[in-house]
Structure formats: structure tokens, C-alpha cells
Amino acid sequence: MYDTAEDHAEIRDALRALCAEFPAEYHRRIDAEGAYPEDFVDALTRNGWLAALIPEEYGGAGLGLTEASVIMEEINRSGGNSGACHGQMYNMNTLVRHGSEEQRRTYLPRIASGELRLQSMGVTEPTTGTDTTKIKTTAERRGDRYVINGQKVWISRVQHSDLMILLARTTPLAEVRKKSEGLSIFLVDIAEAMQAGMEVRPIRNMVGHETNELFFENLEIPADNLIGEEGKGFRYILTGLNAERVLIAAECIGDGRWFVEKATGYARDREVFGRPIGQNQGVQFPIAEAHVEVEAASLMRFEACRKFDAGAACGAEANMAKYLAAKASWEAANACLQVHGGYGFAHEYDVERKFRETRLYQVAPISTNLILSYVAEHVLGLPRSF
Ligand SMILES: Cc1cc2nc3c(=O)[nH]c(=O)nc-3n(C[C@H](O)[C@H](O)[C@H](O)COP(=O)(O)OP(=O)(O)OC[C@H]3O[C@@H](n4cnc5c(N)ncnc54)[C@H](O)[C@@H]3O)c2cc1C
């Protein structure tokens, strides 16, 4: 396994010990019941892992994205799914970087202690999809309040979070110079909002992810809940999105390593035609290829982390890490399923569950096409296509 100069052995060992308390049977049951892994998320919170990115002065561990990525990777590598809790990591970053001192003092210590969860981020809308700057949800300032109207879709962990970061338009598109201007982000108290104009409708889905449609009708929130300056929310969201891409890449790397280890073990043990199936090169090569690609993706992940933690621009590396890792984990998933033959389809082997879970990352939080489009335009300087 390739890593940066230090191998983060301490973090990995501690995470492995904690994750071992939640074996495959646990995650299998949660998946079968379409439930939320409360105990697992609580254990991660109690042990301070979900407060990794909160600075020490606010009660967190004060670690960087590099360490956060190792945490997410180990969760997925253990057979679990960080999808239940990764929101807290990258949402936190938005609050740490762009929140006011008062917001940081009010929320971060309570999030670090586990009293509050900040697991949700509401960006995607049904009619605009990936075209984020065209979102139609509005936040209109009225005195010391903002009034929110509109609709969101695919907003995850709302039912298991206390707070959500919400993107809304504060200046109409027709009145801004650039379409990325006039958008703002807000901190929404979910329990209060559900009593005051926000409706939550769950979406049943392939990965048992707790994700929802949200409807806002004259939801009033305090003006103090605006994060940073009005109109600059898209820029703030982008910083968060780079962190998100890198952390999702790390989860894919964790998945990829899980698939490679699982496939290798099975190929070594399963005997057909009087010898281990792993003795056939036709079986070996797809596993070896998956391993090569997962390890290469991991290096790009660490390069993206290094730049992010140094405060340097890392859009290119974050996108490339997400692309490589999502592709590598999906290829590893296919290889692992194939190696298992019919047994790959049986729930008790966990391969089909992880296979479904890792497939998501070709589409969300950003699709493969949109990453390629970013690289073509922003890295290679090709003409803008949309
Ligand atoms: C389980 C799950 C959880 C999610 N959680 C959240 C969440 O917590 N918060 C949140 O805000 N969102 C969330 N999302 C939404 C997710 O980020 C979007 O689904 C994703 O960004 C794609 O948007 P879309 O589904 O509207 O697809 P669309 O934008 O409609 O795109 C559909 C397809 O067309 C392709 N496409 C579109 N435009 C172009 C183009 N110009 N060139 C090439 N190809 C193009 C896309 O790549 C994609 O494959 C979640 C989604 C899922 C499935």
C-alpha cells in the first residue's frame, strides 16, 4: 500500500479497532432494514473521529484533510459505508472556513461533542440538476430574517442531522454579472424548519442511503444564519466541494482495497478443477489491475490533500482524485463480483452490497462527465461547453 511519508498507522489502527466492533453482519442488517447506522455513527463521534477537521480551540482534533481522508478510507475498507456520516466532515469545513467567529463558537464545540450533527448539505434541485448556478430556491431578506421558498432533491441525512447547510439564490440571476454570483449559504436548524415551512419526503433508493426531497414554503430563518457574505455562497460551496471530492475519493479507495482483499482471499481459497481459482491468470489479472488502479488513485488523493491542507488551489487534483478513485473502486467491484462467481450475488458475502454502494460515486456527488468537463476546460484550457 502506498502512502505519504508517514503512513498514519496510529489513525488506521485505532479506526480498525473501532470498526471491528461493527462487523459485516451489522452493516448487512442495516442495509437489509434500510436503517441508519446510529450506533456506528455515535461510536465514531464519541471517539472524536467526526470532529477531525474542527480546530482544537473549538473542541475538535484539529487535523487536516489528509488525516480525514484516512479516516473515511478506513471506514469503507472495514466493510462499512462512510455515506452515513461523511457529510459532517465536509460540511464542517465550510463552517470552519467561512463561518463567523460567533457561529464557530456557537456550533463547533457542540458538534465536536456530538450534541449536534451537521450531516446535511442542500444543493441539488430537481429542475436544474448539475447546473447548480441556475437553482431556483430563493432566500429573500426581510428585516432580521430570510424567507426561503423552493425545492431540493437528494438531500441526504436530513432525518439524522440537526443542522443543514443550504444553498439558495439571494439575488435574481437576471441581476448578477456572473451566474455564480448572488447565491448564499445558510445554516438551517432542521427540527425548527420542519415546524415552520420545510417538508421532508424520503426517497427510497438502491443503496439504502437516507436521502430526501425537501419543499420550502415561506420558511423563515434568522438572518444571523447566513454563512459569510451574502452573494458569495457559490464560492464557499466550491471550497467545501473540493474537500468532499477528496473525501469521496478516499472512500472509494477504502472500497477498492476492500474489494481487492476480498477477491484475493476468495481466489486463494476457492478450488475448482482441483486447484485454487487464483492460480489462473484469467482470474489473477483483473484483481491485479484493480489493485494497480486503486493504489494510483490513492497517490492522487494524497496530492489533493497536500494542496488543500497547504491552502493551495486544488480543484484539478480533487477532481482527478475523485475520477480515478471512483473508476478504480468500480472496476475492483466488478473484478471482486466476478471472482466470487454465483456467491458474489449472495447477501452474506457482502460483495453485492459494497458493489451497489460504490457504484453511486460515478454519479454523486459529481458525475464522471462533469469531472472530465472540468479537466477539459480548467486544466487543458479547451473551450467552455456549457
Ligand atoms: C444517493 C444520493 C445522495 C445524494 N446526496 C446529496 C446531498 O446530500 N446533497 C445534494 O445537494 N445533492 C445530493 N445528491 C445529488 C447528486 O449530487 C446529483 O444527483 C448529481 O450531482 C447529479 O445531478 P442530477 O442527478 O440532477 O443529474 P443531471 O444533472 O440531470 O445529469 C444526468 C446525467 O447527464 C450528465 N450530464 C449533464 N449535463 C452534462 C453535460 N453538460 N455534459 C456531459 N454530461 C452531462 C451527467 O453527467 C449525468 O450522468 C445525491 C444523489 C444521490 C443519488
- CATH number of the domain at 184, please: 2.40.110.10
> What is the tally of structural domains in the chain?
3
Evaluate whether residue 245 is within a structural domain: yes
Query: What's the confidence (pLDDT) of residue 3?
Result: 55
Question: Measured in Å, how far apart are the chain's first and last C-alpha atoms?
Answer: 39
Both 213 and 108 in a single domain?
Answer: no
Distance of CA 268 to the CA centre of its chain: 33
Evaluate whether residue 384 is within a structural domain: no
Residue 2's pLDDT band, with cuts at 50, 70 and 90, is: low
Both 243 and 369 in a single domain?
Answer: yes
Spacing, Cα 369 to ligand 1 middle (Å): 10
Range 201-207, long-range pairs (CB < 8 A, 24+ positions): 202/159, 203/153, 203/154, 204/34, 206/356, 206/359, 206/360, 207/81, 207/83, 207/356, 207/357, 207/359, 207/360
Query: What's the confidence (pLDDT) of residue 239?
Result: 78
Both 155 and 21 in a single domain?
Answer: no
Residue 12's pLDDT band, with cuts at 50, 70 and 90, is: very high
pLDDT digits (tens, 9 = 90+) for 260-276: 999 999 999 999 999 99
Both 60 and 89 in a single domain?
Answer: yes
Spacing, Cα 129 to ligand 1 middle (Å): 6
Both 321 and 345 in a single domain?
Answer: yes
Task: Give the end of a domain, one of 202, 232, 262.
Answer: 232
Spacing, Cα 143 to ligand 1 middle (Å): 35
**pLDDT for residue 6 is more than 80:** no
Task: Give the end of a domain, one of 199, 215, 232.
Answer: 232
For the chain, percent of residues with pLDDT exceeding 70: 98
Closest atom of ligand 1 to CA, residue 370: 47
DSSP 3-state assignment of 141?
strand
- Residues assigned a catalytic role: 244
Query: What's the confidence (pLDDT) of residue 215?
Result: 98
pLDDT digits (tens, 9 = 90+) for 145-192: 999 999 999 999 999 999 999 999 999 999 999 999 999 999 999 999
Q: Which of 31, 130, 322 to mutate to test the pocket of ligand 1 (most atoms within 8 A of CB)?
A: 130
Both 256 and 321 in a single domain?
Answer: yes
Tell me the CA distances in angstroms from 66 to 8, 60, 243, one per residue in order: 9, 16, 10
Residue with more model confidence, 89 or 144: 144
Q: Which of 154, 248, 356, 357 to mutate to test the pocket of ligand 1 (most atoms within 8 A of CB)?
A: 154
| Angle subtended at Cα 88 by Cα 85 and Cα 89, rounded to the nearest 5 degrees | 105
Both 355 and 374 in a single domain?
Answer: yes
Sign of CA dihedral 155, 161, 165, 169: positive
Q: Quick check: bond before 109 cis, omega within 30?
A: no
Averaged over 363-382, what is the pLDDT?
A: 97
pLDDT digits (tens, 9 = 90+) for 67-114: 999 999 999 999 999 999 999 888 888 899 999 999 999 999 999 999
Both 128 and 102 in a single domain?
Answer: no
Task: Give the end of a domain, one of 186, 209, 232.
Answer: 232
Evaluate whether residue 161 is within a structural domain: yes
pLDDT digits (tens, 9 = 90+) for 225-243: 999 999 999 999 987 899 9
Tell me the CA distances in angstroms from 171 to 82, 148, 232, 360, one per residue in order: 35, 13, 11, 33
Spacing, Cα 244 to ligand 1 middle (Å): 14
Closest atom of ligand 1 to CA, residue 207: 1
Residue 7's pLDDT band, with cuts at 50, 70 and 90, is: confident
Query: What's the confidence (pLDDT) of residue 5?
Result: 44
Letter for the amino acid at 370?
L
49: domain range? 9-116
- CATH number of the domain at 78, please: 1.10.540.10
Query: What's the confidence (pLDDT) of residue 92?
Result: 86
- CATH number of the domain at 360, please: 1.20.140.10
| Structure letter (DSSP) for residue 375 | I
Both 17 and 82 in a single domain?
Answer: yes
**Residues framing ligand 1 (Cβ under 6 A):** 121-124, 129-130, 154-156, 205, 209, 211, 360, 363-367, 369-370, 373, 386
The C-alpha cell at 386 is 456549457
Both 80 and 105 in a single domain?
Answer: yes
Both 252 and 263 in a single domain?
Answer: yes
Instruction: Show the DSSP H helices in 209-270 as ranges.
Output: 233-269
